[in-house]
Amino acid sequence: MAEHLSPVKVAHTLIVPQMGANPMPNSPTPAADSPAIERAMNAVRGIVRALRINTRAIELEMGISLAQLFVLQQLAERPADSLNELADRTATHQSSVSVVVRRLVERGYVSRSSAAADRRRIEIEVTPEGKALLARAPLTVQAQLVEALRRMGPTTSATLADLLDRWLREAKIDSASPPMFGEDDEDVRRKT
């Protein structure tokens, strides 16, 4: 019989390494590292807090998730010719954006149809219902973060991405195909 795991237990097993698997050194952290570590952790806490507050406000005011609003805003700028294109525009994995688009289609805010020029391709665009919802939408934290990265330029953005990837690898946190901000992780829900 399969063990029932709470979302917290599943998240813990996905993120936290097993005890004794790779013990952390017992030596104290050099004092010179403390301000940098504190700054990094405060930056992460600031992002998480801003996303949490933005997510709650959007869900309460609009009845959709932060990820759904972000995708709607991207599609309002211009329709997408494919899920891959939309994934590129939202800076996420195709499988993650596919889940969000499916939910938006189910709610009537987005339509998916075969492209006129090539029936094998799909076009994804905002419906009139989606446009009405967007008329009262706030700016998302996701959009602010992506725009800030663009303003920082490709070299700085690439350096930051490399450092964050390395940080997650060093912490043994799996970052393969994470869900979009403000969207449930389907892997966690399937295991609960």
- Residue 30 domain-assigned (yes or no): no
Quote the pLDDT of residue 150.
Answer: 93
Q: Hey, is 19 helix, strand or coil?
A: coil
Q: Where are the alpha helices (DSSP H) in 29-185?
A: 34-62, 66-77, 83-89, 94-107, 128-134, 141-152, 154-170
- By the 10 Å C-beta count (0-12 exposed, 13-18 middle, 19+ buried), 76 is classed as middle
Query: Does residue 18 lie within any of the structural domains?
Result: no
Is the domain of 150 the same as that of 132? no
pTM of the model: 0.64
Q: Say yes or no: 152 and 108 in one domain.
A: no
Residues 103 and 157 in one domain: no
* CB contact burial 45-57 (16+ within 10 A = b; e otherwise): eeeeeebeebbee
88 and 125 housed in the same domain: yes
Instruction: Let me know if residue 8 belongs to a domain.
Output: no
Give pLDDT, residue 10.
38
User: What does the pLDDT read at residue 24?
Assistant: 52
| Residue 122 placed within a domain | yes
Under 8 Å CB-to-CB from 80, ≥6 apart: which residues?
74, 86, 89, 123, 124, 125
Q: Are residues 74 and 119 in the same domain?
A: yes
Distance CA(79)–CA(54), nearest Å, equals: 25
Question: What contacts 79, CB < 8 A, 6 or more positions away?
Answer: 123, 124, 125, 126
What pLDDT was estimated at residue 160?
A: 96
The verdict on residue 20 lying in a domain is no
Question: Is residue 31 situated within a structural domain?
Answer: no
Q: What is the pLDDT of residue 162?
A: 95
Same domain? For 103 and 144 the reply is no
Residue 66, token pair as written in the block: 């932060």
Q: What is the pLDDT of residue 138?
A: 84
Please state the domain count of the chain: 2
In this prediction, residue 183 carries a pLDDT of: 64
Tens of pLDDT, residue by residue, the chain (192 residues): 444 444 434 344 444 444 444 545 555 555 556 899 999 999 999 999 998 999 899 999 999 998 899 899 999 999 999 999 999 998 888 888 999 999 999 999 999 988 777 777 889 999 999 999 999 998 888 889 989 999 999 999 999 999 999 999 999 988 776 666 656 655 434 433
Q: Provide the CATH number for the domain around residue 108.
A: 1.10.10.10
Cα 185 to chain centroid distance, Å, stands at 10
Structural domain of 153: 139-176
Residues 76 and 133 in one domain: yes
